[in-house]
A and B are shown apart, each in its own frame.
Chain A
Amino acid sequence: MDSLPFAQRVGIVTGGSRGIGGAITTLLAEDGATVAVLGLPEDRERAHRLASLLNGAASRLHFYETDVAVYNRCQEAVAAVLREHGRIDFLVNNAGITRDHTVRKMTVEEWEAVLRVNLSGPFFMIKAVLDTMIQQEYGRIVNISSVVGEAGNFGQANYAAAKAGLIGLTKTVALEVAKRGITVNAVAPGFIDTDMTRAMPLAAIENAIEQTPGQRLGRPEEVAEVVRFLLDERSGYITGAVYNINGGWYM
């Protein structure tokens, strides 16, 4: 097991029990990492199911019920991971939600809910792990943004603002910790086949595929490969970058 690329590494994947997060958890755990999956109550069962499917890595997946929209919960989860596993080498801010409406119809609650989970959540998590990473003089942070944060999207003002904000957060933290062995990058996926896109009306999905030059949705595993690449120890010169993976949807 020591020969696996992420052997001895410990990290956190928020929303890591399904969809893109589930694929990230799977790749990393199968590559030897101990992965703390943070999620909502309904994610617990999914996390256990995911663990049972892992190729020889079930014991390396640990679930921590945590709403990333609440700073105290983030702190508690990080403290628990440190207590139980001793270090935190990587953090993947993947948990995200959508509450789609055009601005005319969007309620203030919908705006705030999305900002809180998709933008404040990553800030809370980064704040909670940063001292540890600075002490270790090592860390890898990847934030899952979205093509929508760069291009905007009809009916997604809240989501687009949160995902664009996440890029600003990424670049600023990257600057602040550049000399401390910590890299901070964003991955911006196009339309990926997960529960999030399955919740879209069929016509909207067809439209998204139509608009994608590659004429298909991406797969969660494809996004996970990019994340794993950035989390690799050898990717240390890459920081403050936004890596797109979108089948040509946005360039």
Chain B
Amino acid sequence: MFEGRVALVTGGTRGIGAAITECLVESGASVAAGYSRGKENAEQFVKRLGTNGSRVTVHQGRVDDVDDCNRVVKEVMDRFGRIDYLVNNAGITVDKTVRKMTVDDWRQVLDVNLSGAFQMTKALLEHMIERGSGRIVNISSVIGETGNVGQANYAASKAGLFGFTKSLALEMAQRGITVNCVAPGFIETEMVAAIPEPVLAKVVEKIPQRRLGRPEEVARVVRFLLEDESSYITGAVYSINGGLDM
């Protein structure tokens, strides 16, 4: 389906990002997967993909660092010559109630989750415009719509992605580039594993389907939005949350 196409997935070697990388590689794409600190994990990930790993490269770089963003995009262009899809998936949480949250905690999350998406987009937008085609998918979160105790910074960053997505979608509407959000609910990854067990049990209780989602389930939605046939979908938010937030 995606033969000859090239995707750049930030945070693409772990959790949801890794599932996206795998899903796109299985569909024929070449994938450049970004990571920041987990070098060993990234290398093991490529190994685990087996023969499919020949179409996957990993790139170290912080999305909250403009120079890193530009360098990573250049690395990918040098290696593959084109970038068709950008998936802004890299994200972090630093949970505290606003009373206890430091300005630094606030900034750190905004820098990675929101400014990171902007900077990565900037780094390759001209390339997509020149080619007259492209797909950008931003991984937001149900929390961006509902808010959550202890996640003011995270919720603000994820709600911010909606505004960013919709504005960019408007700006790119006549240039063959679609920009959409996928908003997952609670998905079984290390990010959720960090939630204390009793808190997590309460979370699951609140999900109408009474289960966490799987990274692969989110990856399918991303892949759908990247398809050529999805060109009329832009500025949209596709939720996948087991009924959590409607």
Contact = CB atoms under 8 A, between A and B. Distances in A.
A218 B232 contact: yes
A215 B173 contact: yes
Which 9 A-B residue pairs are closest in the complex by CB-CB distance? A213-B173, A178-B208, A240-B246, A251-B235, A171-B246, A251-B166, A244-B236, A241-B239, A237-B213
B161 to A, nearest CB: 13
Given A174-B208, A179-B208, A248-B169, A214 B234 contact: yes
Interface string B215-241: 001001100100101111111111111
Interface of A: 171, 174-175, 178-179, 190, 213-215, 218-219, 221-222, 225-226, 229, 234-248, 251
Given A174-B208, A240-B239, 11 more contacts: A178-B210, A213-B234, A215-B174, A222-B233, A225-B227, A234-B220, A237-B214, A239-B243, A244-B233, A244-B237, A248-B170
Nearest to B235: A251
Contacts of A239: 208-209, 242-243
A229 B224 contact: yes
Nearest to A175: B208
Nearest to B212: A237
A179 B240 CA distance: 16
Contact of B173 (A236, A242, A248): A248
Contacts of A238: 217, 221, 239-241
B210 A175 contact: no
Given A229-B224, A240-B208, A248 B235 contact: yes
Nearest to A185: B239
A251 B181 CA distance: 11
B87 to A, nearest CB: 17
Contacts of A175: 208, 243, 246
Given A174-B208, A178-B209, A241 B224 contact: no
A243 B246 CA distance: 12
A239 B241 CA distance: 7
Interface in B149-171: 166, 169-170
B229 to A, nearest CB: 5
Nearest to A239: B243
Contacts of B237: 244
Contact of B233 (A215, A219, A226): A226
Given A178-B243, A213-B170, A238-B239, A222 B208 contact: no
B15 to A, nearest CB: 16
Given A225-B229, A245-B236, A214 B174 contact: yes
B73 to A, nearest CB: 25
